[in-house]
Structure 1
Amino acid sequence: MTRPPGAAPESGQVPGGDGVDREWTLAELAAAYAYPEPPPGTPEPWLRANMVSSLDGAAQHEGRSQPLSCAADMRIFGTLRGLADAVVVGAETVRQEEYGPARAREAFAARRKAAGQGPAPAIAVVSAGLDLDFSLPLFTSPLVPTLVLTGAAAPPDRVARAEKAGARVVVAGDGASVDPARAVRALADLGMTRLLTEGGPRLLGQLVAAGVLDEMCLTVSPMLAAGDAQRIASGPPVAVPRRFALASLLEEDGFLFGRYCRT
């Protein structure tokens, strides 16, 4: 991770002002991406998204986001996971990206312990139909039990299979679908207030439309993908586009790493 000469710390750069381009340490990244301090009383959830986009707006190439990524992007990806209580992800992304359970990282062990967190974030899968392979390690052998967020009308046999595999099923909707606001509140009620979503585009679109997204961490990849790939968010529109404020902007090898917070 690099910075221009004389960059100011409030622009998301390493303090010091020595003008030397260098890789950020994990501790510096953790400080730069720290969650805001919760207000007194009942802690409110803070939901951030982490997505990658090509220059021409593609969120994926051949169905996966990895071809648009880079080493620095993966370090930020790991940092955001290292700070989160739970990672919220859509069922289709679990299938396409071949999700496994989150792992414990020694670099974040002390920080997580001091924050009262477990050794790794829980993965919270949003799925109405529960069309998931419950024999995968994500469900059978996670370090922290995987959560499945679904609606009250989810197929009972699949609910039973999820629970038998060791997943915790959380109802966050009265019908077949999941209510984004209820899902966020349900996680907060379980003590998971530092939330991270990694999409996919349909889930992110639902979260945006519901007005529950607090922060967007966006990697802009210096690549052109063309084709018909999805944008980072798709689904229902909002009546008026919501304005977010730039909190920090980092750069490495032409990749831009922006952090935007709701105003």
Structure 2
Amino acid sequence: MHADARREGRPLTNVDVELAWQLRNRSSAQDRVPPGRDRRQQPLTGVLAPFEVLFETELPAYQLPEELGRLYGRLGFADRVVYSNFVSSLDGVVALGTSFSAGSVISGKFEGDRFLMALLRACADAVVIGASTMRATPGHLWTPAHVYPDLASSFSALREMLGRAPQPRLVVLTAAGDLDVNHPALQKGATILTTHQGAERMGGRQPATCDVVILGRGKRFKVKRAFDELHERGFQVILTEGGPHLVGQLIAGQVLDEAFLTLSPVVAGRGKARRLGMVEGAELLPLMPVWSRLLSVRRQSDFLFLRYALPAT
């Protein structure tokens, strides 16, 4: 976790007052619906405008390539950090089911959200997902250029400046070993963390570009042990794009240092089908409340981009 997260910050009420003042003093013209746009439709995409910084505390800062810095502003991480990235509907839904990835549906493929996803990947030594996330996105590659190809050269330049490998290492957590070994992301190369039973189920069918790490002989392994293993292997700056159950384990185990949350203006609703929030499988309130601290707020159109620090381990 970065050093600033361990310092006492300004009271939340001060942050609220500052944010409200900034919003009140904006020109109303910036908040109007563009001509011909119906608010019921998905957000417009096109030329990416710079993010508007509404609030930001003191944070580490990388020397970003010019175009990335122009669009996002300052961004950086501590030398050792685990951070997540989610997009949520206005009513708190991040997952619509198990059959497909909901992120692009909830964001409406909003260009600012895709840019931030790529930028966060570009900063990471490794991107960690669960097997269910891989199954829900059969053609996906967890690289910056896959979600925002227009700035692929800038993302590559950032990784070179940071001394990172050309691409973040994909890490897949699967206790059961239930993976499609023909998935293109596995063909490109990945580190698979599993159990002895999971390795037996894969039966050595994984591509030669993958390495398999066995963390236990039972049916499960502790997520904290998995991340300790990654740190020992030299992956210090880790992004997790796993689902709500993985994030629930990370927060309950005090492994997650920071959370990036894109708040989409869409209302998802809930009916008979189960729709998940950002944290599942870990009941925290009222006995184990986890109070996060706001680090930054950015805005594009009707979307808010939030960054929080989780309590120090």
Determine the C-alpha separation between the residues in 2 that align with 1:211 and 1:173. Answer: 21
Q: Secondary structure at the match of 2:196?
A: coil
For 1:225, the equivalent position in structure 2 comes to 268
Task: Structure 2 unaligned segments of length 5 or more: list them.
Answer: 1-49, 60-65, 146-151
Q: CA RMSD in A?
A: 2.4
Task: Structure 1 unaligned segments of length 5 or more: list them.
Answer: 13-23, 39-44
For 1:55, the equivalent position in structure 2 comes to 90
Over residues 198-249 of structure 1, what are the superposed CA-to-partner deviations in whole Å (9 max), with x where a residue is unaligned? Answer: 1211111111111100000001111111123111221122341211111100
Give 1:123 shift: 0.9
Inter-CA distance 194–30: structure 2 relative to 1 (3 Å threshold): farther
Q: Secondary structure at the match of 1:226?
A: coil
Name which of 112, 115, 127 aligns with 2:159. 112
Name which of 49, 65, 90 aligns with 2:103. 65
Task: Give the share of equivalent positions with the same residue, in percent.
Answer: 32
Inter-CA distance 10–82: structure 2 relative to 1 (3 Å threshold): same
Over residues 101-129 of structure 1, what are the superposed CA-to-partner deviations in whole Å (9 max), with x where a residue is unaligned? Answer: 52663212233223221001011111111
Give 1:133 shift: 0.8
Name which of 148, 151, 175 aligns with 2:218. 175
Inter-CA distance 109–2: structure 2 relative to 1 (3 Å threshold): closer
Number of residue pairs matched?
Answer: 239
Determine the C-alpha separation between the residues in 1 that align with 2:195 and 2:212. Answer: 10
8 Å contact from structure 1 (residues 85, 195) kept in 2: yes
Listed as ranges, the matches of 1:134-173 within 5 Å are: 134-140=181-187, 142=188, 145-162=189-206, 164-173=207-216
Name which of 180, 190, 202 aligns with 1:133. 180
Inter-CA distance 249–83: structure 2 relative to 1 (3 Å threshold): same
Q: Which has the higher helix share?
A: 2
Inter-CA distance 123–29: structure 2 relative to 1 (3 Å threshold): farther
8 Å contact from structure 1 (residues 57, 231) kept in 2: yes
For 1:215, the equivalent position in structure 2 comes to 258
8 Å contact from structure 1 (residues 173, 182) kept in 2: no
Inter-CA distance 27–253: structure 2 relative to 1 (3 Å threshold): same
Inter-CA distance 25–250: structure 2 relative to 1 (3 Å threshold): farther
Give 1:65 shift: 1.5
Determine the C-alpha separation between the residues in 2 that align with 1:189 and 1:94. Answer: 24
Give 1:151 shift: 2.1
For 1:20, the equivalent position in structure 2 comes to none
Listed as ranges, the matches of 1:31-110 within 5 Å are: 32-36=74-78, 38=79, 45-61=80-96, 63=100, 64-69=102-107, 70-98=110-138, 99-102=140-143, 105-110=152-157
8 Å contact from structure 1 (residues 170, 186) kept in 2: no
Give 1:155 shift: 4.3
Inter-CA distance 191–31: structure 2 relative to 1 (3 Å threshold): farther
Name which of 26, 30, 33 aligns with 2:68. 26
For 2:247, the equivalent position in structure 1 comes to 204
Determine the C-alpha separation between the residues in 1 that align with 2:85 and 2:136. Answer: 17
Listed as ranges, the matches of 1:223-262 within 5 Å are: 223-227=266-270, 228-238=274-284, 239-262=287-310
TM-score w.r.t. the length of structure 1 is 0.82
Structure 1 consecutive aligned stretches of length 4 or more whose deviation exceeds 6 Å:
none
Determine the C-alpha separation between the residues in 2 that align with 1:101 and 1:3. Answer: 27
Give 1:30 shift: 6.7
8 Å contact from structure 2 (residues 126, 237) kept in 1: yes
8 Å contact from structure 2 (residues 177, 194) kept in 1: yes
Q: Secondary structure at the match of 1:192?
A: coil
Determine the C-alpha separation between the residues in 2 that align with 1:103 and 1:76. Answer: 9
Residues 107-116 or 214-223, more deviating: 107-116
Determine the C-alpha separation between the residues in 2 that align with 1:8 and 1:176. Answer: 44
